[in-house]
Amino acid sequence: MSDDVMLKSFDLADAATKQLLVLATGTIAGAIALLDNSNVAGIDFGPHSGAIETSLWVLTFSAIFGVAAMFNLLGTLARPPEEGPTIYKGSIRLFSALQLFLYPLGLFLLVRAAFL
């Protein structure tokens, strides 16, 4: 793989990771802003708070795995292995897959909990 193609693949993976990271944190912020009971001190989601909190934790873990994926991308480019850096490194694939799986799951759980 040429260096130009390899760098573009890392740029694309970094951009996709950042987009999901922004979506996850924005969804968390929006959920707290829209679903919080403003008549009570602190954060209170009412009778279905357990389901909403579960979905927010899933979204939080999606964001954490996104940061881990970005660090793995950076580390692979900063210290490439002898055979050259690759986007298919196991840790990059693992953290990216977890982020990609947990965001839609968290979003689904949040929408489901909001309509309970």
Pairwise CA distance, residues 56 & 1, whole Å? 40
Query: Comparing 21 with 4, which gets the higher pLDDT?
Result: 21
Average pLDDT over residues 75-80: 88
pLDDT digits (tens, 9 = 90+) for 19-51: 999 999 999 999 888 877 677 666 667 777 888
Q: How far is CA 75 from CA 4, 22, 29, 89, in A?
A: 18, 21, 29, 11
pLDDT at 80: 83
pLDDT at 64: 97
pLDDT digits (tens, 9 = 90+) for 95-116: 999 999 999 999 999 999 888 7
Average pLDDT over residues 54-72: 96
